[in-house]
Amino acid sequence: MRLETEAFGDAAFDTVIVGSVTEVKMPAADSAVVRYVKAAAKTSRRVASICSGAFVLAEAGLLAGRRATMHWAHASEFRVRYPDVLTEEDRIFINDGAVWTSAGMTAGIDLALALLDNDLGGDVAKLVARLLVMNQRRLGGQMQHSALLDMTPKSDRIELVFAHIRRNLRNPLTVEELADVANLSPRQFSRTFQAETGQSPAKAVEQLRLEAARFMIEQGRHTINVVARETGFADRERMRRAFVRTFGVPADVLRRTARAERI
């Protein structure tokens, strides 16, 4: 297989994007790639990295004192190597001044849409998202890891329970009700659910409520009181406590962060 390349030359770029590096122990501060990125950044409007490309930006001195993210698997090593960077491994992407960094894999798409939004507006970004068959745009503040991935059911009956929970989040959802859906006694249901998901039914219901509430909060279309009611938290204060316990911040702070990222 042949790949034809062409030297960039000395032309200035509007945006310099550094992709993932195959070995994060690279690159050395004096490598040709680092030297090139450092020089290109001086004449570019902004620089960005995807996944472990953040190592290149850090070696080039472009992340010192800035907030940055990357794939969570690289965060521990990154934090040790670059203590002067404010590493936030739980973010999808981060914009700090003229520097953008993102997590890995599909987060690169979220970064690209954010750059489009920044340059051409939300309507263009939404159009591109639709062309990419994305059912929603993720904001930078969203977490890389969803707790729901740890609760994948192994049987059809527990899958039916999850579907029932999602359809009825605004309701109380007792163990007895969920056991009826699974056609098990409450005791059998609790044991089976715990064995398949690693969570108690009550904890799983709260996680599903939190995921739904967080999405609604970040979309910004409903008041916090409405979000609390529609996701089954009964009242705003109960939802606030759940948000602080799980996400470290109350819902109103998350909403302000999401709103700022859309500006």
Q: List residues with catalytic annotation.
A: 51
Helix then strand then coil, in percent of the chain rounded to 5, is 55, 10, 40
**Tokens 């850090």, residue?**
58
Q: Three-state DSSP class for 102? A: strand
Determine how β-strand 67-68 pairs with β-strand 46-50: unpaired
Q: DSSP for 135-189?
A: SSPPPTTSBSS-GGGGG--SSHHHHHHHHHHHHTTTS---HHHHHHHHTS-HHHH
- List residues bridging with 68 in a β-sheet: 87
Nearest Cα neighbor of 153 from 110, 194, 92 is 194
d(CA 206, CA 107): 26
Q: Which two tokens stand for residue 226?
A: 């409405």
